[in-house]
Copies of this chain bind each other. A is one copy, B any other.
Amino acid sequence: MLDVCLLGSGGMMPLPYRWLTSLMVRYNGSSLLIDCGEGTQIAIKEKGWSFKPIDVICFTHYHGDHISGLPGLLLTMGNAERTEPLTLIGPKGLERVVNALRVIAPELPFPLAFREIQGAEEEFLLNGYRLKAFRVNHNVLCYGYTLELSRAGKFQLEEALRLEIPKQYWSRLQKGETIRADGCLYTPDMVLGKQRKGIKLTYCTDTRPTRSIVDNAAGSDLFICEGMYGEKDKETKAREHRHMTFYEAAGLAKDAGVKELWLTHYSPSLTHPEEYMEEVRKIFPHSQAGKDRKSVELDFEKED
């Protein structure tokens, strides 16, 4: 199960009623954060989630509204006496940018591990999930992210019995372990049915619509995507600043065949995103206006 929280839904600058866009995901005792603007640490506190299990912080790019909260968050994590390493993932320049910001957070009681994204796409295996960064199209180098949890096939009792696999190994095989015992080799595929649908989450912000987004978001359970403008006449402005309108985001959601779309990263001038949702749903019916602390638990599909 993935616990997902959109901590903030704004773009450009934090507002009294809207934090900057940031996503926090909890899985199996570990937390991941994508983007960390000014105030993100307060948004985490408001949500009531803990800083302690944050093991990974990813950045889409290094515009201020996506990273300005990092030094403060690092200091707060340091004050909580963290000693475990923290992994930072981001576009080229990661270490340079973070170290510059650390002029005001020079001493931390935990080490930072930098993993700079190489090329147009890169996968990271972390804490039991698969994180993939994919390049998008903004006015600086920028990436979207998908996070996937795979799910093994169902345990085939009949097969286990037929192949006379000792019962003591069943649960280990079910967990994916290969076992060599009593002169025999037992592999998971002997007892597991075909792989089942896992959980897929896609997050992308600060970009024009791209083919890479459709390809990478394909089949996502939840697609969180920037929608800077709801006003239909702002497509030119969106194009100019390399952002998207709500309708462009909905078009991507439709093309990618996702289950649900949440919009985020609203322009500060956009005070009531809900007003535009009826029109947005004509393009993609399962569209929601994201808002601060909008949360969901993504579970594996129920079976018959």
Contacts and interface: CB of A to CB of B under 8 A. Distances in A.
Contact of A68 (B12, B72, B79, B96): B72
Interface residues of A, number: 31
Q: How many copies does the complex hold?
A: 2
Given A13-B41, A14-B72, A64-B71, 17 more contacts: A12-B79, A13-B75, A14-B39, A14-B41, A14-B42, A16-B42, A38-B42, A38-B72, A39-B42, A63-B104, A64-B72, A68-B75, A68-B104, A97-B103, A100-B100, A100-B101, A100-B103
A191 B190 CA distance: 105
17 contacts: A13-B41, A13-B79, A14-B72, A16-B42, A16-B45, A37-B72, A38-B41, A63-B104, A64-B72, A65-B72, A67-B104, A68-B72, A68-B75, A96-B103, A97-B103, A100-B103, A101-B103
A13 B42 CA distance: 9
Contact of A76 (B13, B46, B67, B104): B13
Chain A facing B: main interface SS: helix
A161 B46 CA distance: 68
A1 interface: no
